[in-house]
Amino acid sequence: MKIKSIYVCTHCGSTSPKWAGKCNACGEWNTIIEEVATPVTTEDKKRQLWQSSSGSERNSPKPVLLPDIQAGNTLRLVTPDEELNRVLGGGIVSGSLVLIGGQPGIGKSTLLLQVALGIQAKVLYVSGEESEEQIKMRADRIHQQRSDCYILTETNTSKILTHALALQPGLLIIDSIQTLSSPLIESTPGSISQVRECAGELQRFAKETNIPVFIIGHITKEGTLAGPKLLEHIVDAVLQFEGDQHYSYRILRTLKNRFGSTDELGIYEMQQNGLREVSNPSELLLSQKDEELSGSAIGATMEGMRPMLIETQALVSRAVYGTPQRSATGFDLRRLSMLLAVLEKRCGFQFGQNDVFLNIAGGLRVDDPAIDLAIVSALISSLEDVIVPGHICFAGEVGLSGEIRAVTRIEQRIQEADRLGFREIYVSKYNIKGLDTGRYAIRVQSIGRVEELYQALFAV
């Protein structure tokens, strides 16, 4: 058979017969790679990968009147992991295909092995990455031993699905999609065409057997799921497991969910004996320290639907060599530059000759604009070397003209700060209309501009 090359876009998965610098379908540059494709004959295509119980008479769907469809009775398999249940919208929907992405070493295998060992159902855990012994060792480490969890080390989709069909598990876990290969195509495991074919086969399997399937997917260097667009529309839900390798916190985020909200997120802590659910994030994220130092301020942020109080730390010091440095960990560097420019222009602070370092505690990444006010306070605090008292926290977005703008879910933020024993919270004056601030023990201070913040906090 003649071996033919096809050119596949690693971003959107579209194929073309010749190479190009820019993908015609999605417009991305330098994403097209060459793959060897052996055309699959129609004979091959017809070949059944696995025999479903009803054979050729699979119940193919018939047209149904919309009012006749029973809604609201989706069966969900509830896992012992509350965080995962919430992220999925209340448990694993039967027949659903869920992709969990994350960088190598972040804890994807650990998370799913924990689910496999804890859930009240028969589970088939397929690993193409590790040996049975390695998985056993991990299971020993997380101290959960159940007899209803089967391990299969196999990468051939046809064999995997045949085993799964015979075993009829309540949940099928695939670790990872990049190691699978389908006998129907000849390209190497992990290539775009393989990933697409294997995901497609798993999707058909899930839909026809009603067995939910979890697939683990590695993230590429650029921080995207391999062929993200490609897998995103095949699967029902995309979860991303993220965190900084050097810290123990892990966040499970929903990027897509056909059965629930994408605003939910789960928080875990990686410990010696597996992942532990963190139901009270703020208490852990506020760094414990005895003495108060300048350059630190606490922001009342929202991660998804959950309020979280997070410490921001700034260090402003005279630049000794050449161009002053600006560096941010866990926060957008351009946004930091913007905040510095606002402080220079609106309040007359001189950051120009200083190095500025900004850090979000716990190795988290914060995109919530409400953290602006805490960052601005930390910056001024470090520059002027004055302390922001530890009983104060902040929630407000800073606009280009130095105005403090309203943020979403202000009540939840105030409540969380109140619950954690903060005595004062600074919010935008545009945020407190209709707000019953008397309900809380915490004092709610409203401000309109950055200058007022300085006056209120530091002026004597």
List residues near ligand TYD by CB under 6 A: 102, 104-110, 138, 141-142, 270, 272-274
DSSP string, 116-176: HHHSSS-EEEEESSS-HHHHHHHHHHTT---TTEEEE---BHHHHHHHHHHH--SEEEEE-
- Judged by beta carbon, residue 179 or residue 301, the one nearer ligand TYD is 179
Residue 104 interacts with, from Mg ion, ligand TYD, none (CB under 5-8 Å by kind): ligand TYD
Q: Is 114 in the site for Mg ion (CB under 5 A)?
A: no
Least distance (Å) from ligand TYD to the CB of residue 100? 9
In angstroms, what CA-CA distances link 313 with 10, 244, 257, 341, 371?
A: 38, 17, 34, 18, 12
Residue 330 interacts with, from Mg ion, ligand TYD, none (CB under 5-8 Å by kind): none
Q: Is 109 in the site for Mg ion (CB under 5 A)?
A: yes
Residue 27 interacts with, from ligand TYD, Mg ion, none (CB under 5-8 Å by kind): none
Residue 141 interacts with, from Mg ion, ligand TYD, none (CB under 5-8 Å by kind): ligand TYD
Least distance (Å) from ligand TYD to the CB of residue 103? 7
Applying CB under 5 A, the span of 27-35, 108-116, 368-376, 413-421 interacting with Mg ion comes to 108-116
Q: Which burial class, exposed, middle or buried, applies to 212 when counting CB atoms under 10 A from its CB (0-12, 13-18, 19+)? A: buried
Angle at 129 between CA 127 and CA 135, to 5 degrees: 60
> Tokens in use for 387?
């302390």
Judged by DSSP in three states, 429 sits in helix
What is the DSSP code (8-state) at residue 247?
S
Least distance (Å) from Mg ion to the CB of residue 123? 16
Least distance (Å) from ligand TYD to the CB of residue 274? 4
Nearest to 284 by CA among 313, 314, 310, 245: 310
- Judged by beta carbon, residue 107 or residue 396, the one nearer ligand TYD is 107
Residue 294 interacts with, from ligand TYD, Mg ion, none (CB under 5-8 Å by kind): none
Instruction: Note whether 344 and 279 are within 8 A (CB).
Output: no
Nearest residue to Mg ion by CB is: 109
Least distance (Å) from ligand TYD to the CB of residue 217? 10
Q: How far apart are CA 401 and CA 93, in angstroms?
A: 48
* Site for Mg ion, rule CB under 5 A: 109
